Every structure is written in C-alpha cells, then in structure tokens.
Structure 1
Amino acid sequence: MYRRKGPWSTGLRVLLATLRALLVALVCFLLLEPYTRRITQEEIKPRVVLALDNSQSVGLFTPKESLNGTLQGLDALAERLQDKGYEVVRETFQEGDTAVNLLATVPFQAPITNLHALVSKGESAYRNQNLAATVLVSDGIHNQGPTPTFQLYRAPIYPLALGDTVAKRDVVLEEVQYNKINYTGTSFPVVARIGHSGYGGASVTVLLQEGGKTVQRKTVSLPRAGTLETTFQVSAAQPGKKYYEVRVQPLSGEFTDLNNRRHAYLEVVKGKLKILLAAAAPHPDIKALRSALLTNPLLDVEVVLGPFQNPTFKTPYDAAVLHQIPNLSNVGTPWLRRLQTAKVPTFYLLGAQTDYNAFNALQAGVRLNRPSGQYDQVQPVLNNGFRRFSTEPIAQDRIKAWPPTAVTFGEWNVQAGTEVLLYQQIGSVRSTKPLLVYKPGPVVPAAVLLTDGSWQWRLNEATEHGSSQIYDELMTHLVQLLANRRNQKRLHVYPVKDEFDVTEEVSLQTDVFNTVQEEIFGQNISLTLTHPDGKQTQHRFRHEQGGEGLKLGNLAPGVYRYAASARLDNQNQSDTGELVVQEQNLESLLAVADHELLRQVAQRSETRLYYPAQLAQLEQDLLKADFKTVLRSHQEEKDLLEQSWYYFLLLGLACAEWALRRFYGSL
C-alpha cells in the first residue's frame, strides 16, 4: 500500500508502513500464546507474639501492683523490640481477630485456662509470617485442653511466670460428685471433697443449698493432711432439672472464699428411655451404635439380631434403630410392621441388603429413585444450619476427617420438611446430596443414615483423638430427639442443649404444626422466662424456616423455666420447659501458681523460665537469638491475552496510523 505514490512524503510513508507492520506483527504474536513472568520480593520481619493468659486466676491471685507493673513493662518491651525491627503482636484468650493494643488494659475475665489454645492461636495466625518466638505470660494454672508440656510448637516459647507459688491458708471445695441422671422415688448421693492448707484439725460447716435455701448441713473436722469426703443423701419426688449448690462456710484467716462453693446440676426422670437396636444380620455398625448409645445413662438399649422370632414387645419402645430393615430377604419385616403399628419413632440405617422399594414406601423423609448396584465413596460434611440440637465447635473438623463410606448410587430425593444433618462429599466436591436426615413429626418422627459404614467413623475418631466424642454425641442426640416423641400439641419450644455454660449463649428452637400435623412457619411466639430467683422476663420472636430461634445471651447459673404461647387458627397454643445454666468456677480452685509447668515448657523449647524482675534479661535473650528477616519471592505468570495494556498498545498503533493519514490529507 505504501509503495504507491500518495499525498505523503517518503519519510511519512515509511513511518506509516512501520506502524502498520508493527500492528500486524503484534497481532500475529498473540498466536504464539505468549505470557509474562513477574518476580517480586517481600521482606518479612521476625514476629514475636506476647501471649497473655488473661484468665481469672491471674487477676485473682497475682498481687495487683506486681501485675500492673509487669504488664506495663511488657508493653515497653514490645515498643523496644519494634524499634529493633521486630513485629510484635499481643494475644489473649479473647475470640476473633480483635487486636490488643496494650496488655496493661486487658481485663482478666476468661473463665478457663487453655494454654495450648493460647499458644496455638498465634502459631495458626502467623504460620507463614516468620513467627520467631512466643512469650507466654501466665501463672501456669491449666484447666482445659491438651497440656502444653507434651505439645510440639514451631516457634520457641519463652515463659514469663506470674502468680504466687507460696501456699496460703485456705479451704478448698475441690470437687462435687453426683449422678447427672437420677430417678424419682430413689435417694441419690451428692459427695463433697474438701481439701485445705494450714487448717488441720479445724471444724468446718458444709451446706447443701437449693434455690438459695439450706436443705442439709454438716459439720466435719479437717484431717491433718489430705482431703476428706462428706455425703448428702438427696431425694426428689417430681421429675425435672435440679440445681444444688454446695458451700463450705469460710474460716477465720482464709486467703479467699471464692473456692468454697461448687454447683451440682442433675436431672430427675421417671425412667430410662427404651431403645430397640435391631439388625437383619451381625454387622460392625451394631457394636459401634450400641457403644455410642450406652454413653448416655438415660438410654436403655436392647439389641436384637436376625433371624427374628415373632415380635412380642413385652416392653414398649421409645425409639427403634433398624439396620438394613426392610431387607431384601424380608428378615425383620414383622418387627417393622409392629413398630409402625405402635407408632415407634425409627432410625433407619441403609446398606447393600436394604429393600429400597419397601423403604421408599415408608415415607421416612428421603427416597432413592432407580437404585443401582453401584456405590459412591462419600465423606460426611456437617450441616451447620441444623438447629434441632447443637454440636461441639470441634465437630466440623472432626467429621470432615472421618473416612469415606459406601452409599448406593442414585437420585436421592429429600421430602418436604425433612432436615439434613450430614451432606455427602465425593472426593473434594461437596454436594447437596443427603447422608443423614431427620424428618420431624409430632407423633412418629424418623431419621435415615444412607450408609452402613458408620462404624469406621467411630473407630477413626477414637484412634485419632483418643475418644469418639463427636460420633457418640451425634448418635445419642439423634436417638434422643426421636425418643422424646411429641404429643399432639401444635407448639413445641426446646433448648438446643441439655446444659449451657455461663460463657455460652443460651438458645431456644421452636416447632409449630398445623391441624394435620404439618410443620408451618411465620408465627409470632411469646415466651416468659422465669429466672432462678423468681424474676420473669418477657421475650418475643418469629418462627422462621432455618431461623436462629430465640437467643437469650449469657445467663447466670441456675435452673430456668419458660412458658411459650402462640396464636394458631384463632386458638391459643402453649408449651413449657426448663433449661440449666451451669458455672464451673475452675479458675478459683487453685490459688497457687504452677511454675513447674512453665519450666517444663521452657525446657522443651530449649529456653528458660523468666520472672517479672527479669524482663531485661528476657529482652537480651530475644535480641541475642538474632531472629532473621525472611526474603520471600513471589512469581506471577500471566497470559498476554489477559493483559489489557497489550490491547491498548494495539489500539494506540492503529489510532496513530489513522490520525497521521487523516492529518496529512487522505485515509
């Protein structure tokens, strides 16, 4: 084009030709799929975590002047380390990512001491941030979680000891022993174990109180050494939750009376819940389920294995667990029919021998369309939206680690109103297919587990963690949910846990049914909560599908009773119940610091134990360790096709050629 004569000079023709050639070349260059590589370097300074044990025991038993001076010294130490090029982070037991600006302003209110969790908090948060050292500031009193002396930490720990190791003259109510489940018409013991320091031979008065009133009183003599036990015999004529407080009256010259009281929270019931565990044939699931259910003293489990005799049902069952029944060989069919006739809530476990056509006819909350002989290997995933009962915070991670089990391949349909407890995860893909479901019902609720390999979950959890707590709680809570069958009432209000701690938020859930016993939503619920001291508070909330129910926040310890009401079809419906809030008082039990534990932690990290007067030595040792700054390289590769600047370059070349041709007289 530009060899022909035109209205341009020779130099301009060469420039225009160059622009056009460069534009075409750059466009063709994209056919080679080029990419760019960018390398950046980042300096990560060594990070020191000041982990402060802000539990109640530190504030109670460390002299206030000494504690304030130590905390101010640590804040000054943090400033000097920052001036030396270190990143300093302050951590406490508080939850979340809220930053602590000054240790001197931290309130000592944590009701428990979990030193492993405190150290692990910094290790987890700064795993990839050049964590150099953790300064653990504590009195060494540890009452929850793994003992830190037997744990491995990535960064060395420099313990700083607070508290006082000198024994004080004190009387301690060390423990109150009692059965959590008791029966009406029987007498049950409440045993108090009392220890002391410096009061050998003295007499103390021990009180058993209920509702603030003394129901029994005993006077005992303290031994010269060791502890003594005294027993109160208690009986209750009416079922319900009971709250007792055991108190040791303070003696003259006692260091503190905070550790002179403890609580007993128990339940009086009419009798155990009768549970049938029936299986078409012997299977490892039966042992796992039986062991899990027997962890709850409220459940009486009867195991029956096929081939079955004709059912007699001498004792009515509160719930049944059926393993692979209905069965392809019709094993257990008469028992199933009898359970249906008696309207016994049933937990079905499915497997290779399940008759799926017969199971679909049961309308148990889930059905399998077109069952096949193929199986998926699936892992369970907890549904955090299930609110019939609560699970421990560790449940999510533990359940994810359970091994995969076989589930019959097919199209699983969840019926309306059925709630999913566990979902299926196939490989790394989390699906919406159910694995464990619960179908609510006022008379005959049901639950279904789609695999016969749950025994592997219990075995794996026990092997990895030393106990099968999460599996056992999941199965017992589900069976209890079935066994505590509803009557024909249309309004049901219940707490999500049997017992709440004073540090936990109390929450209530609701079921509402229409005249044909189908669950409905959108109702306004009024609730009156009666506190242990007789005070009443009024609450209102709306019953929504998947809603959070009524959250009452943190409550003082004791037994609370509630009465709920709602207006349904121009009729008043009501329900009543009770819940327990318990206080453990773990932090006030020991007034003597445990510096030996901190010394063992230091030895394991090859450091040493420091005291408040040795903050200067601690600073020198941290600086002497000469923690290095880490240089981290980041390499980024990106296709040229994805970079906008290249397209602006092409556009610029085209526009430049067009502008020159236009300016000099011809397009």
Structure 2
Amino acid sequence: MQSLQLHTAYSPWYALLCLAAGIGVSWLMYRRGGPWPSGLRWLLAFLRAMLVALVCFLLLDPYTRSIRQEEVKPKVVLALDNSQSVGLFTQKDQLNRTLQELDALADRLQEEGLEVVKQTFQAGDTTVASITQTPLNAQVTNLHALVEKGSHTYRNQNLAATVLISDGIHNQGPTPTFQLYNAPVYPVALGDTVAKRDVVLEEVQYNKINYTGTSFPIVARVRHNGFGGTTATVLLQENGKTVQRKSISLPRGGTVQTSFQVTAAQAGKKHFQVQMQPLTGEFTNLNNQRHAYLEVIKGKLKVLIAAAAPHPDIKALRSALRTNPLLDVEVVLGPFQNPGFKTPYDAAILHQIPNASGVGNDWLRRLKAANVPSFYILGAQTDYNAFNTLQAGVQLNRPSPQFDEVQPLLNNAFQRFSTEPTAQSRIKAWPPTAVTFGEWNIAPAAEVILQQQVGSVRTTKPLLVYKPAAPAPSAVLLTDGSWQWRLTEAVDQGSSQIYDELMTHVVQLLANRRNQKRLHVYPVKDEFETSEGVNLQADVFNAVQEEIFGQTISLTLTHEGGKQTQHRFRHEQGGEGLRLGNLPAGVYRYTASTRVENQNHTDTGEFVVQEQNLESLLAVADHSLLSQLAERSETRLYYPSQLAQLEQDLLKANFKTILRSHEEEKDLLEQPWFYFLLLGLACAEWALRRFYGSL
C-alpha cells in the first residue's frame, strides 16, 4: 500500500493567495470577452488561472511525501550444520530421510505464511535452495557462527526463529550455549550419542622448530573405546615411507601414548605422518592418522637488544622475542654492560641510540660497519640530529621538546607479514604513548606498519616504519612507551599475543638476510590451513638494493607428490602478490625467476599447508549442548522423528507479521511530472486560442 501527500514549507493557507493570483490574472485577460464562445472562454480562463496558480505555488517550497507500507512475514531460518562429522557419524538412510523431511517442512511452513530460508557454513550471506542436496563437507564446526549468521543477516527482517540442525559437535568459535541471539533456537539433533567401538589417534605433539643434527621426539596419543587389552601398531611415515614402527598395548580405559625419536640431517620443512594400523571391528579409520609439519633449521638468529639506559621497554621486548624459539636474544644496558660481538648479530634493537649523552654510539658504529639490520626505538633521550643521518626510513625535521599522545593503528596496506584477524581491534585498545612533536618525513622506499591516531582523528603519520633498502634493512618505532601496549593487552586479553607477534615479525623481517639477492619471494606466513588461501609476496631490488616495481615473476610450484604447476604475476607497489587459493595439505616448494637489468634472477622457498582434521576426532554426538541451547531459548530439543511436533510448535508460536512504513520526501521542483503539467496547461491554452483564431 502506498500513499502520496503534498506538503509546503510554509502555511498551506498561502495556497489560497496563489489561487487568487491565478484567478486575478485570468480575469484581467478574459474579462472583456473575445472571439470565443462563452463556454470556451471559461475553459481558457480556467487553464490560465491554474497555470498561474501552480507557478505561484512553487514559491511555497512544495514537496511530496510518499508513504509506502509493506507486510514483513515472520522469517524462519533452517540452519544446517553441514560439517563432515554429520555425514560421517549419522546413519546414511536416517540422514537422507531427515534432510528430505526438513525440505518438506520448509515447504509446508511457506504455505502457512512463514518465510523460510536455508543456510549452511558456506561463506557469505547467501542461502541454499535444498537441504537435501547440500554437501556435508565443512572441515570445522562453529555453531555460534552458524546461528549468528542468520541473526545478523535478518535482524531487521522480522526473524522469528532459527531451527538448528546439528549433531552438537562443536570445535571452533565461542560455545553457543553462552551466547544471546535475536530469535529463539529450535535444535534438531542428528548423530548418535552411543560411543562406537573405535580407536582414535587423538593428538600428535612435537616441536615445530628443531635443529640439524639433534634428536627430537614426536609423541602420539591414542584413545580407544572397546579395545582394552588389544595390541595396536603405530607407524611414523615420511614421504609415504615407514621410517619407524611401534607396538602399543591399549589399556582398559583412558589413553596411551608412544614416542618416536627423529634425527634430521638437512635443514628445511619436514612432513611426517603418524598412522595407526586399522583394527578389526573399528567403526571408522578416518581418525587413525595425524600429520606433523615441522621445520629443521641450522641455528638460531642472534638478536642484540641494546639500550642507553634501563627502561621498561627492554623487558617487554625481550619477553616478546623469547616467545619465538628461533631467536637468541642478548640484552645489554649502557653504561653497565657492553655487547659481546663474539658472533655476528643477525639484527639489533637499539633503544634511544644514538643517544644525546653519547652512550652506545660506538656500538652503533660497529653495527653499521657490519651492515647489521637495526630496529631503532626513539624517545626523549634520542639524538635526532644523529638519527637523521642514518637514513633509517624516517626523519624528524626541527625536533621539539613537546610530545603528542598517539594511539597505534594497524596499516592494512602493509603485507610483508600477516597478522591475526583480532590484531586490528586489539591494537586499537592499546593506550596512547608519547611521540616527539615535529614534521616526520618518510623515505620513498619505506613502508608504514603502524600509523598514528591523535585523539579520535586517524592520521597517515607513521608510528612504526620498515625500510627494506640497502645497505641493510631497518625499522623505526617512534615511541619508547610500547611496554604499556604489552602490559595492557595482557591484562585485557589474558595474553600479549598480538604485541609479541608484531615485534617478533619485525625482527624476523630484519634478520632474514637476503645476501644482496635481487629477487626475494616469500609466503605471508609459514603455515597455512587447508581452509585458507595461500598468498605469496615478492621484493625485487636494483644493483644498489633499492626496491623496484613492474617486473613479471614466473613461479614453479612443486606439490608434495611431485606435481608441478606454473604461475605468473606482476610485482606492483602495494599489489596483492600471487594468490594460489586453497591447496591440499602438504609441504610445497617453489622456484621463482624474473629479469632485472637484462639479467635473470631466481629465488626458492617452501611453505606448509596443514589439515586440521577436527571433524573425525569425535564420533559421539553432543546432544547435551543442543539441549542446553534449547533451554536457554526456552524451546525444546527435537529428534528426527519429532519434526511434526516441531512444525506444530512453530505454528503455535503464532509469529506475527509486522507492518513496516517507508517514507520518502522529495522536492516538487525535482519531479518532472510537475513540469509536464505546467507545460500541458500552457500548450492547451495556446492551442485552443490558435485554433479558434486569436492568440
């Protein structure tokens, strides 16, 4: 239903004056008669009066108000848990019959005046046409995300109820029983709560970072049901070949573990597979294997933290770097200690060095002479004139004794390393710190990792800068208050994960020396999940190690089985690199090449794609979770045989159709029909006068 109303900015009584003006003008023109019959003269007078009155009416700023009312039917979302566990551990006949009945239920609800949509774990807010035809292939189960998806999508569309069809197995995201949703949830229970006779390789424990020539353990933990007193065989395989074999005796209850001792002679990424040989009578063999992806390296990266004086930053930085076993951290505090310089440093963190008092400046000269990548942290005691000569990526013109209190903002355009999805929100919560006031100039080759926010104003001013150019890469943090970030995050979140990863990534980015390579191709992270896309980035340098752009890079990707695929991408500033999409689990190696200054340059690397395999670990449905969810929604739990009762309860709930009004105001001067009306009145009068012999 739609209605159209006419309003004016001034009192509508003024319309009478407009009408009077029209009548007056018409009377002056037609009062003496003319060559027209009496009836025609009255018609011409009417046309002229209306034309003048409508033109005068425009002086009142008229506008139209369109009111459109629509009925919004109550909406019911059928949310299907299409994870692998539903298909694996629910009897096929029963599952197919239940899904067909749910499609039929949706049709009957539609006939009763309810609007029904069907959703799954698939990305986006799109719906599926048929529950029966939906593949059960999701690799994880996030029931909260599934229910919240419908609540978020239809929160303003009269969402009445969500029917959750699931086995209750939940292995990712917040537990739904402790969440609040916009509509009541009606759970439908699939799966079987009776424990199956099965053996499960529950977990494989190992160190992800190991060193060449050392021995390291891979520990397998086994859980079983119904095989007490049986002997099982566990295999350790590499590249499809069995390298070790262990026999274990399964106890009457609980779990048992066994350990493999492995020695790796060569550096690189390794893929081991731990597999249990199937036992007679097992319910399924899908949970009998697990993968171990680890890296063997030649040695740790040596990192120096040098400070002109004791400062809370030092402990925060040291604690952050020590979370990464790849880094060997040495801390010196001037003037009490001096760096050892016994072995070359891979990177150095220089806290307020160069210093106004000169402490540590001789260390800086030695590090610069050795081309050690340096991470400069600036503060009140920094000698800014000396710092500006270092060409570290940013310079401060006309330093001031004043400070700005700024908060950090993550620059999403920086792609040399990836961050956790929660990084942006966590970093926004870090407290403001002091940054020396002045004009900060960024070098052309430098990239901003963190930006400044002053109060509520987002700026493009740098806070943390990285420069990859020669003779050695460098990074600069413009504040000496980052220790507050780590402390605040630990208090608010229970851990300082984002701060620790940020500082570790910056140091690793500096410490991974390229040995003057002209081409460097690298994955944005060392390990990817099968459910996420793989992305490779690249750097290309000229003869003086300045980054250049515009080259076409060819890449050969070797899959774990030996299959090779060819790829090409263009190296652009701020580009997205090479997106390989989702790849199967395994260790991948690549060789990249490009042509710079009429010379061919190559680079090699590797990365890991690992499979979570969470869905096959638990073969027992969790109907208690669904029952708790129903209790919280003040509904009840339904089984496949009770779908008729579910239909009755949904109809008895008597969900109401809501009436929604949409108003739209539009100036009369903006509406073409009004001008056509004026033109029609004028043309009609002119045509009649012309036809009957007088204008």
* Per-residue Cα deviation, 1:419-470 (whole angstroms, up to 9, x for no partner): 2223344555544333332211365111223344444444454445443333
SS in 2 for 1:521: coil
Q: Does 1:416 align with 2:444?
A: yes
Is the Cα contact below 8 Å between 2:313 and 2:481 reproduced in 1? yes
The 5 Å alignment of 1:236-385 reads 236-307=264-335, 309-373=337-401, 375-385=403-413
What does the per-residue CA deviation read over 1:221-269, in whole Å, with 9 as the maximum and x for residues that have no partner? 1111111110111111222111111011001111111111001111111
Give RMSD over aligned pairs.
3.2
Structure 1 residue 367 displacement after superposition: 2.5
Structure 1 residue 487 corresponds to structure 2 residue 510? no
- Look up the SS of the partner of 2:283 in the other structure: coil
Structure 1 residues 22, 254: closer, same or farther in 2, change over 3 A?
A: same
When structure 1 is superposed on structure 2, of 72-81 and 252-261 the one drifting more is: 72-81
Q: Assess if the C-alpha contact under 8 Å between 1:23 and 1:650 holds in 2.
A: no
Alpha-carbon distance change, 633 to 331 in structure 1, aligned in 2, over 3 angstroms: farther
Alignment counterpart, residue 88 of structure 1, candidates 96, 116, 125: 116
Do the aligned residues in 1 keep the contact of 2:230 with 2:249 (CA within 8 Å)? yes
Give the alignment of 1:90-129 within 5 angstroms: 90-129=118-157
Cα 1:628/1:361, change in 2 over 3 Å: farther
Range 495-504 or range 449-458, more displaced: 449-458
**Given the alignment of the two structures, is residue 505 of structure 1 paired with residue 533 of structure 2, yes or no?**
yes
Q: For the structure 1 residues 385 and 548, does the alpha-carbon distance in structure 2 shift closer, same or farther, using more than 3 Å as the test? A: same
Equivalent positions of 1:624-643 (< 5 A) are 624-635=652-663, 640=667, 643=670
Output one character per residue of 1:589-608: Cα deviation in whole Å (capped at 9) or x when no partner. 11111111212222222222
| Counterpart check, 1:190 vs 2:205 | no
Distance 1:554 1:4, change over 3 A: closer
Note the alpha carbon deviations across 1:112-146, whole angstroms, 9 max, x for none. Answer: 11112212212222222222222111111111122
Aligned residues of 1:139 and 1:594 also touching (Cα < 8 A):
yes
The one of 234, 241, 252 aligned to 1:206: 234
SS in 2 for 1:416: coil
Q: In the alignment, is the contact (CA less than 8 A) between 2:489 and 2:495 conserved in 1?
A: yes
State the percentage of identical aligned residues: 73
**In 2, distance between residues paired with 1:191 and 1:380?**
42
User: Which residue of 2 is the match for residue 471 of structure 1?
Assistant: 499
Deviation at 1:6, TM superposition (A): 7.2
What pairs up with 1:407-446 in 2 under 5 angstroms? 407-426=435-454, 429-441=457-469, 444-446=472-474
How much has 1:208 moved relative to structure 2? 0.6
Q: Distance in 2 between matches of 1:177 and 1:107?
A: 32
In structure 1, what is the equivalent of residue 675 of structure 2? Answer: 648
Q: Which among 22, 29, 33 is matched to residue 60 of structure 2?
A: 29
For residue 201 of structure 1, report the CA deviation from its aligned partner. Answer: 0.7
Tell me if structure 1 keeps the 8 A contact 2:125–2:153. Answer: no
- Contact kept? 1:20, 1:657, Cα under 8 Å: no
2:675 maps to a residue whose letter is F
Deviates more, 1:644-653 or 1:231-240: 644-653
Q: Give 2:21's aligned residue.
A: none
Deviation at 1:530, TM superposition (A): 2.4
**For 1:280 and 1:656, how far apart are their aligned partners in 2?**
90
Per-residue Cα deviation, 1:455-489 (whole angstroms, up to 9, x for no partner): 44444544454433333322222221111121112
Change in Cα spacing, 1:585 to 1:21, as seen in structure 2 (3 Å) is closer
Residue in structure 2 matched with residue 618 of structure 1 by the alignment: 646
1:168/1:656 Cα in 2 relative to 1: closer, same or farther (>3 Å)? Answer: same
Moved more, 409-418 or 54-63: 409-418
In 2: Cα distance, 1:551 partner to 1:456 partner = 37
Distance 1:610 1:629 in 2: 26
Aligned residues: 663
TM-score normalised by structure 2 residue count: 0.87
Partner of residue 395, structure 1: 423
8 Å CA contact 2:555–2:592 kept in 1: the answer is yes
Distance 1:115 1:9, change over 3 A: same
Which residue pairs with 1:9 in the alignment? 32
Cross-structure match for 2:565: 537
What code does the residue aligned with 1:388 have? Answer: R
CA offset digits 1:298-337 (Å, max 9, x no partner): 2233334455545443443222223343344444433333
Tell me the SS of whatever aligns to 1:158. strand
- Mapped partners of 1:41, 1:164: distance in 2: 48
**1:582 aligned partner, one-letter code:** Q
The answer for the alignment partner of 2:91 in structure 1 is 63
Question: Structure 1 pair 21/323, CA: closer, same or farther in 2 (3 Å)?
Answer: farther
SS of structure 1 residue aligned to 2:132: helix
Letter in 1 for 2:573: Q
Q: What's the counterpart of residue 144 of structure 1? A: 172
Task: Tell me how far 1:583 sits from its aligned partner.
Answer: 1.4
Which stretch of the first structure deviates more once superposed, 125-134 or 313-322? 313-322
**Contact 1:525 1:543 survives alignment (8 Å):** yes
Question: AA paired with 2:32?
Answer: S
Q: How does 1:157-172 map to 2 (within 5 A)?
A: 157-172=185-200
Which residue of structure 2 lines up, in the alignment, with residue 449 of structure 1?
477
User: Distance between the aligned counterparts of 1:114 and 1:607, measured in 2?
Assistant: 21
Contact 1:506/1:554 (8 A) holds in 2: yes
Indicate whether 1:546 and 2:574 are aligned.
yes
Structure 2 CA distance for aligned equivalents of residues 139 and 182 of structure 1: 40
C-alpha distance 222-629 of structure 1, shift in aligned 2 (>3 A): same
Cα distance in 2 for partners of 1:128, 1:463 equals 36
Are 1:608 and 2:631 counterparts? no
Query: Which secondary structure state, in structure 1, belongs to the residue aligned with residue 127 of structure 2?
Result: coil
Aligned mates of 2:107, 2:310 — CA distance in 1: 67
1:594 equivalent in alignment to 2:622: yes
The 1:661/1:329 distance shift into structure 2, 3 A limit, reads: farther
Given the alignment of the two structures, is residue 133 of structure 1 paired with residue 161 of structure 2, yes or no?
Answer: yes
1:229 aligns with 2:257: yes
Contact 1:327 1:353 in 2 (8 A): yes
Name the CA shift for 1:90/1:406 in 2 (closer, same or farther; >3 Å).
Answer: farther
SS in 2 for 1:473: helix
User: Displacement, 1:612?
Assistant: 0.8
Quick one: distance in 2 between partners of 1:127 and 1:460?
Answer: 34
Q: Which amino acid aligns with 1:256?
A: T
